[in-house]
Structure 1
């Protein structure tokens, strides 16, 4: 089901207190400079039952329902304003890819009504990228005047609320996003704020580079048709998969290593099938949170882009090419070695980008597993029933994102592939033994 919304209001939310003069300039790190401005939109779904529990009713009265939505929106805006006082760079504007002018211009806040005659429960029955709540504002075309944070609260006519929060990747990675969401939800609840972000640690470790070229605003929409599908692997299947991918070199694979190896193998099989084995080289690139892995480590609340990329390469000229493609335990060993090498390179403290060799097939994988799960984002009406990624452009094809399930024991995999490759992957019996496609999120 394609969801449509009608925007009923747009306003600017500014920090509740002015940013002091000595904090007006937030220096970007060289990691930030390399990042695209592209927003990373995430949507949190709150079920009807949770929303109406705070009003003591079922929302049958239209006026009462409107009052409830007004109260929700008001709480979000007030707490967001206070949170921006602590996360003041998010309310500023980018300045020539060198810094953020923390001028308190604010962030965009949209209120929208879902036009479809449905509730959050209808979305959760068959969650998909196509069924996500769309974002009302278009992507900006001017870096220096675009807000670094945008929020859209969406009200469903048949019950429930979805909150879309998108932060520019220019100044934020996944862990930074989690820091902001944790602080915002604590402030909304009136709880003690346990998050004190450090905005200087990253640029001190990785200073900005003068005259660094601005990266592309968005991914190109050109090319073959791509699709994004969701798969779920439960804890019991993860245990089986970890056992299967274990080896003498890596006797205890992590769950993300095991899951990545499975989907990487299936994607390779699909690509080789479509091209008849004519492709000569394959590359897997994955993100690593470097905060605790740098020497010395960065503070855990460091805000900015502190993500490194590991890579593994499989060449057809390799003597063990066939086993490299099909042996998941071997893929896990390659990943473990790739991560170790990436950590060593990042501890070199060099501003030089790691040389990248373009391969015929490259897949990127991102991990959204965190000590603070987005599932903990309670603004006063309970924790989200589910959260997901908005838009095909959020995952560059071919690519995937690995996120926690609500219970924290399983994982969801959002896989983006060329349509023909996806059809082959969806029919892969080994993958289907472990993963359930498009399972309901209720």
Structure 2
């Protein structure tokens, strides 16, 4: 796929339908916001015409629907219409708005599907923005009109303000406004900074660097773990765990993520550490209101493994579960977070010094990206595009198959070894 197949039709700034109240003008960010980079997270939603016959034929009509509903959605998610200030510690909710692009792609949507690569999917995302610093506008949306009549909606959202869960909620809210223009505008609360204030900058710096270091030096590939293969993995892990007292039944995400990590790490002679980004919202219900939005995820870290041959999937999953239990049991979450941040900082600095490989896994499984109905049905396909962050593993639910899709980002040499020197392809199929 070539960028020359894309032609810009229009570019607009979409402001919130109602001005943000002065009481919300300055939004203090939390420790969770602080530990996430200003980079744009991205996703693409595909709506083929043959699968969505009620999709309007007129591109102008489609864009009008999306622009008006985005304006109403930004009223509730007012920090996303603002500007990051004070080196990432505050958002000025000044209603500068979101950037909205309308483009024409001179090919049928099937041509992207046939390419079966993250690079082809990148075409529907705002150009050169995913995983780069978000500066002018914290939301950039692009509606892509294919010559077959289908559309794809590509969106970039600043990770400094929201995580995957809030990004999914924002998109769902936007699609609800599009589907039902008379739907009431809900009121969300961005109060994380009041309950979980940021820590000193030097402690956070290593974590921030680890989430952006390696950009443009690695490649991304996508794999499918079908439901039957996942079930086989889960059975294998359960059998590996042995007697009933120590036996575990892994979830699909636990099985898939642990397996992919082991396949990658087995090709290195260095010690490795597996980290999993975990949504803390169920735990934070004790402190935060139900309407809370923003960042509320944290990296859980399994113990270091010196020899790749010693990686046991059931033990890895058990260790991560112990971490989660510790968070549930704590009575002072902020104190626990500070302790864990320092440990994480030390390990990520060792990763930077090439002493150890730290693999970072994020799961968007069970999030609601596949349910975004703008008025013509849910998307047939959801994509993340390329993720140029070395040693990164992303999991999402498959829209076309019953299973989990995994995006792996590695340097070229490690990616080649992953497919030729591990048993990855026994359970995962390239996409």
Q: TM-score range by the shorter chain?
A: 0.7 to 0.9
Q: Deviations over 1:114-170 (max 9, x none)?
A: 24xx21122123332110143445559997952111101111123311111111000
Q: 362, 366, 373: which one pairs with 2:362?
A: 366
Alignment TM-score, normalising by the size of structure 1: 0.84
Q: Deviations over 1:87-122 (max 9, x none)?
A: 11111111212221111111111111124xx21122
Q: Structure 1 residues 220, 262: closer, same or farther in 2, change over 3 A?
A: closer
**Counterparts of 1:143-162 in structure 2 under 5 Å?**
146-162=136-152
**Secondary structure of the corresponding residue to residue 406 of structure 1:** coil
Provide the C-alpha distance between the structure 2 equivalents of 1:417 and 1:185, rounded to a whole number of angstroms: 34
Provide the C-alpha distance between the structure 1 equivalents of 2:130 and 2:278, rounded to a whole number of angstroms: 28
Provide the C-alpha distance between the structure 2 equivalents of 1:292 and 1:387, rounded to a whole number of angstroms: 26
**Secondary structure of the corresponding residue to residue 401 of structure 1:** strand
Provide the C-alpha distance between the structure 1 equivalents of 2:411 and 2:329, rounded to a whole number of angstroms: 34
Preserved contact between residue 43 and residue 163 of structure 1 (Cα < 8 Å): yes
Q: Are residue 121 (structure 1) and residue 110 (structure 2) matched?
A: yes
Provide the C-alpha distance between the structure 2 equivalents of 1:294 and 1:131, rounded to a whole number of angstroms: 38
The residue number in structure 2 matching 1:110 is: 101
Q: 220, 229, 238: which one pairs with 1:228?
A: 220
Q: 68, 72, 82: which one pairs with 1:92?
A: 82
**Secondary structure of the corresponding residue to residue 42 of structure 1:** strand
Q: Are residue 405 (structure 1) and residue 393 (structure 2) matched?
A: no
Unaligned runs of 5+ residues in structure 1 are 56-64, 272-276
Q: Are residue 181 (structure 1) and residue 171 (structure 2) matched?
A: yes
The residue number in structure 2 matching 1:375 is: 370
CA deviation after TM superposition for structure 1 residue 261, in Å: 1.5
The residue number in structure 2 matching 1:431 is: 424
Backbone CA RMSD of aligned residues:
2.9
The residue number in structure 2 matching 1:62 is: none
Q: Are residue 336 (structure 1) and residue 321 (structure 2) matched?
A: yes
Alignment TM-score, normalising by the size of structure 2: 0.86
**Larger proportion of helix:** 2
**Secondary structure of the corresponding residue to residue 402 of structure 1:** strand
Provide the C-alpha distance between the structure 1 equivalents of 2:9 and 2:283, rounded to a whole number of angstroms: 46
Preserved contact between residue 219 and residue 411 of structure 2 (Cα < 8 Å): yes
CA deviation after TM superposition for structure 1 residue 339, in Å: 3.5
Provide the C-alpha distance between the structure 1 equivalents of 2:135 and 2:40, rounded to a whole number of angstroms: 14
CA deviation after TM superposition for structure 1 residue 305, in Å: 1.1
**Secondary structure of the corresponding residue to residue 63 of structure 2:** helix
Q: 261, 265, 271: which one pairs with 2:262?
A: 265
Provide the C-alpha distance between the structure 1 equivalents of 2:162 and 2:408, rounded to a whole number of angstroms: 22
Q: Are residue 241 (structure 1) and residue 227 (structure 2) matched?
A: no
**Counterparts of 1:187-206 in structure 2 under 5 Å?**
187-190=177-180, 192=183, 196-200=187-191, 202-206=192-196
Q: Deviations over 1:62-84 (max 9, x none)?
A: xxx5xx11111110001111111
Q: Deviations over 1:6-42 (max 9, x none)?
A: 2221110001111122222222112212221000011
The residue number in structure 1 matching 2:29 is: 28
**Secondary structure of the corresponding residue to residue 82 of structure 1:** helix
CA deviation after TM superposition for structure 1 residue 343, in Å: 5.5
**Secondary structure of the corresponding residue to residue 131 of structure 1:** helix
Unaligned runs of 5+ residues in structure 2 are none
Q: Deviations over 1:343-383 (max 9, x none)?
A: 5679531363332322421110001023x511111111221
Q: Structure 1 residues 345, 324: closer, same or farther in 2, change over 3 A?
A: farther
Provide the C-alpha distance between the structure 2 equivalents of 1:88 and 1:40, rounded to a whole number of angstroms: 18
Q: Tell me how many residue pairs correspond in the alignment.
A: 408
Q: Structure 1 residues 222, 119: closer, same or farther in 2, change over 3 A?
A: closer
